[in-house]
């Protein structure tokens, strides 16, 4: 039986869950009003829609890198790199939330990203047999 770094696996599952939440709940709540609004021109609307999909793809790739690290010790470096990105997402959420008076619970993504990031830090210290 192959040894698995359970903390990297947990980070992968959590990040995949955040991506699913982003696509399903967030997609139903935020994308239709974005596409229906008329206050922005087509370029601005397209940019926001593009960024929405970039976030989706980024979260999916981060989940895949975490999963790779769970099974292959050689993926630890890339996983630590994307873990920094995940922690940056948490910090960005806090910063933007504070800037627009939405912190902490009107813009709660920071909690999810922080949980994944802390799990990733712990995973980085967990030994994995080869």
pLDDT of residue 103: 82
* Residue 129 clears pLDDT 60, i.e. is over it: no
Q: What mean pLDDT do residues 96-123 have? A: 93
In this predicted model, what pLDDT tens digit does every residue of 78-106 receive, in sequence order? 999 999 999 999 999 999 999 999 888 88
Which tens digit of pLDDT belongs to each residue from 36-45?
999 999 999 9
List the single range of 13-22, 29-38, 52-61 with lowest mean pLDDT.
Answer: 29-38
The pLDDT, as a whole number, for residue 106 is 86
**Does residue 127 register a pLDDT over 60?**
yes
Which residues does 118 contact at the CB level (< 8 Å), separation at least 6?
none
Q: What is the 3-class SS of the chain, one letter each residue?
A: CCCCCHHHHHHHHHHHHHHHHHHHHHHHHHHHHHHHCCCCCHHHHHHHHHHHHHHHHHHHHHHHHHHHHHHCHHHHHHHHHHHHHHHHHHHHHHHHHHHCCCCCCCCCHHHHHHHHHHHHHHHHHCCCCC
- Structural domain boundaries of the chain? 6-124
pTM of this structure = 0.92
Radius of gyration of the chain (CA): 17
Could you read off the pLDDT of 54-84 as tens digits, one per residue? 999 999 999 999 999 999 999 999 999 999 9
């Amino acid at each position: 039986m192959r040894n698995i770094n359970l903390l990297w696996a947990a980070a992968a599952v959590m990040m995949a869950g955040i991506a699913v939440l982003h696509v399903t709940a967030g997609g139903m709540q935020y994308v239709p009003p974005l596409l229906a609004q008329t206050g922005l021109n087509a370029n601005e609307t397209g940019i926001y829609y593009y960024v929405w999909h970039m976030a989706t793809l980024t979260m999916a790739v981060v989940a895949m890198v975490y999963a790779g690290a769970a099974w292959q010790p050689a993926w630890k470096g890339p996983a630590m790199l994307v873990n920094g990105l995940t922690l940056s997402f948490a910090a960005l959420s806090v910063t933007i939330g504070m800037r627009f008076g939405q912190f902490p619970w009107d813009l709660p993504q920071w909690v999810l990203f922080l949980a994944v990031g802390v799990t990733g830090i712990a995973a980085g210290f967990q030994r994995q047999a080869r």
